[in-house]
């Protein structure tokens, strides 16, 4: 069993700027996972944006706190705590924090079943 906390050294060492706007950390990734790409947490300050990008795997953005405008391809929708957005492989996507507090999301990515 592997249990990771956001304050663990293995998580803190992975801190990076994700797609121009969010401070992200890999909670679990290919160092330990076998079939799931990764589980990350990202914090997006008010007015900041995870810029539109395309990934080679499907993802789920799950909002823990705060709000934002989620875009997937040509669709946009306001999201908040408890909302999960599925992003198909190859879809352009972005998230703008249009609220007044940090938007914190979990990101799960997977290359799918083989």
Q: What is the chain's Cα-based Rg?
A: 14
SS3 82: coil
Q: What is the residue extent of each domain of the chain?
A: 9-110
User: What confidence score (pLDDT) does residue 65 get?
Assistant: 98
102, 64 Cβ separation under 8 angstroms: no
Class of domain 9-110: mainly beta
Q: Quote the pLDDT of residue 11.
A: 95
Per-residue pLDDT, 35? 84
CB atoms within 10 A of CB 65: 14
Q: What sign does the dihedral 66-97-28-75 (CA atoms) show?
A: positive
Beta-bridge mates of residue 41: 25, 106
Q: Does the pLDDT at position 67 exceed 60?
A: yes
The model carries a pTM of 0.91
Helices and strands (H, E) in the chain, number of each type: 1, 10
Class of residue 112 by CB neighbours under 10 A (exposed 0-12, middle 13-18, buried 19+): exposed
pLDDT range class, residue 80, cuts 50, 70, 90: very high
């Amino acid at each position: 069993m592997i249990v990771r906390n956001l304050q663990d050294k293995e998580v803190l060492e992975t801190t990076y700027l994700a797609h121009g706007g969010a401070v992200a950390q890999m909670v679990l990734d290919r160092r330990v996972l076998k079939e799931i790409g990764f589980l990350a947490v990202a914090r997006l300050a008010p007015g900041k944006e995870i810029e539109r990008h395309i990934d080679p795997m499907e993802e789920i953005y799950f909002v823990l706190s705060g709000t934002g405008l989620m875009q997937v391809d040509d669709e946009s929708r306001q999201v908040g705590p408890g909302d999960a957005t599925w992003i198909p492989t190859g879809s352009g996507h972005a998230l703008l924090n249009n609220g007044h507090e940090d938007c914190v999301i979990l990101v799960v990515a997977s290359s799918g079943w083989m």
